[in-house]
Amino acid sequence: MPGADKETDLSERIESFLSELKRCGSGAGSLRGSAETARETSALLRRITAQARWSNAGELMEIIRKEGRRMTAAQPSETTVGNMVRRVLKIIREEYARSRGSSEETDQQESLHKLLTSGGSSEDNFRQHFPHLKANVIEAINELLTELEGTTDNISMQALEHIHSNEVIMTIGRSRTVEAFLKDAARKRKFHVIVAECAPFCQGHEMATILSKEDIETTVIPDAAIFAVMSRVNKVIIGTQTVLANGGLRALNGTHTLALAAKHHSTPLIVCAPMFKLSPQFPNEEDTFHKFVSPHEVLPFTEGEILSKVNAHCPVFDYVPPELITLFISNIGGNAPSYIYRLMSELYHPEDHEL
């Protein structure tokens, strides 16, 4: 029967996506960039919307929430997955509100008056059935996908506004966003890039080879030399894994040192991050913030006898507080870290912060 086939097909796809997430999370960061993950997540959510059985918005939201929880549990450090789920939930709420005819603003504002007068009425709001809701939601998700396609280009278009000629720019590790940003600026301007290799994964080496192929003067330095060369650097441009709700970053290990060195020399720190990396989490949870990989990257098994007597740590991420960041460049333009909370309220509904 076609219905059952669709169901099994859907669950198969979800399972394969989950196993991909689990697999690519280990080792040297993600094997594919966050943009790809975001796109795949959105595509999967669109498929769920199209093929799953639901009759009203509330049920759809439940299904999506359930799948979203499973996906984030598979790879907690890959926050783009959760972000996309929240975006889709917001889309559903908006479409529902539009179908109902009420404007979006009144739904959002949780004023004291509303809390007292309406009581628990917001709960049943999603039980009404609208025939065109499915089509509207799928169309909105398609728009989201097109937006995702264009994020890198939107960011790199702003490159010439921020880089002048004969600059010395420092970056760390490998970020596809920063790569595109610098390549775009290099078409018109001549500048020098210093890449910190970011041990133990040494993704900086790949970044340097890619940049130097575009005829950009690149220098690779070990992580230990970051402070030593910082006095000659004009700007620091980095990418990040996640932008947190307070404007801080969860970025590659070593980024906090880089940010402190930049602050000491009063060098501006620019973060290139597309909007789908913005996550409503705060950096308070000590145990869940850090992700560790096998310590053999740090202390290989060839060291032999001392291995059993030594603790070796290999964290993947670093927390960078918002005071050290000068500017966020995203696909919707440049923002200060203090504005991030506002952007977040536009992207996600407060009730979706906890999936």
Partner 1 sequence: MADSDGRQIDSINHAADGDGKGHGIVRAKTEGKELTKEEKQRLRKEKKQHKKNKKDDKVPTEKEKEKEKPSVQAPSKPVTQSPTHKAAAPVPVSASASESLAAAEKPVKTKAELRAERRARQDSERTSKQGKKEGGQQSTTSKPKASPSELQPVVKRLPEHVQVDDPAALKKLAKKLERQQKSGQGCGLNITGVKVPLRSDYGYKVSLFSHLHQYSRKNPPTQQISIPATVIHPSVVRLGLQYSQGIIAGSNARSVALLHAFKQVIQDYSTPPNEELSRDLVNKLSPYISFLSQCRPLSASMGNAIKYIKKEISNIPSQCKEEEAKGKLQECIDSYVNEKIILASEAISKYAIEKISNGDVILVYGCSSLVNHILCDAFEKQRKFRVIVVDSRPRLEGREALRRLVKKGIRCTYVLISALSYILPEVSKVFLGAHALLANGYVMSRVGTSQIALVAKAYNVPVLVCCETYKFCERVQTDSFVSNELDDPDDLIVTRNGKTHLENWQTVKSLGLLNLVYDVTPPDFVDLVITDLGMIPCTSVPVVLRVKNVDQ
Of 59-67, 143-151, 215-223, 234-242, the window that binds partner 1 (rule: CB under 8 A) is 215-223
Which tokens go with 198? Answer: 């970011």
CA gap 245, 289 in Å, rounded: 13
Could you say whether residue 327 binds partner 1 (CB under 8 A)?
no
* Closer residue to partner 1 (CB): 171 or 330: 171
Is residue 301 within 8 Å of 325, Cβ to Cβ? no
Q: Which two tokens stand for residue 216?
A: 């950009």
Query: Is 220 a binder of partner 1 (CB under 8 A)?
Result: yes
Q: Which residue from 229, 327, 332, 343 is in contact with partner 1, where contact means CB under 8 A?
A: 229
Taking the C-alpha atoms of residue 236 and residue 246, their distance in angstroms, rounded to an integer, is: 21
Comparison of 275 and 325: residue with beta carbon closer to partner 1: 325
**Residue 201 lies near partner 1 (rule: CB under 8 A):** yes
By CB under 8 A, tell whether 202 contacts partner 1.
Answer: yes
Our CB check for partner 1 shows the closer of 60 and 211 to be 211
**Residue 224 lies near partner 1 (rule: CB under 8 A):** yes
213 binds partner 1 (CB under 8 A): yes
Residues 182 and 211 sit within 8 Å (Cβ to Cβ): yes
- 26 part of the interface to partner 1, by CB under 8 A: no
Half-sphere exposure of 14 (CA within 13 A, CB side): 22
Nearest Cα neighbor of 140 from 94, 84, 107 is 94
Residue 78 makes contact with partner 1 by CB under 8 A: no
Query: Measured from the CB atom, is 184 or 223 closer to partner 1?
Result: 223
Is residue 294 at the binding interface for partner 1, with CB under 8 A as the rule? no
Q: Judged by CB under 8 A, does residue 179 bind partner 1? A: no
The tokens for 230 are: 């910082």
Single out the residue of 149, 288, 315, 336 in contact with partner 1 (rule: CB under 8 A). 315
Q: Name the one range near partner 1 by CB under 8 A: 43-51, 63-71, 301-309, 345-353.
A: 301-309
CB 71 within 8 A of CB 16: no
In this structure, are strands 269-272 and 235-238 parallel, antiparallel, or unpaired?
Answer: parallel
Strand pairing report for 327-330 and 269-272: parallel
Handedness of CA 111, 114, 115, 116 (dihedral sign): positive
User: Which residues contribute to the site for partner 1 (CB under 8 A)?
Assistant: 28, 197-202, 205-206, 208-209, 212-213, 215-229, 231-232, 252-254, 256-257, 260-261, 264, 290, 298-299, 303, 306, 309-315, 318-319
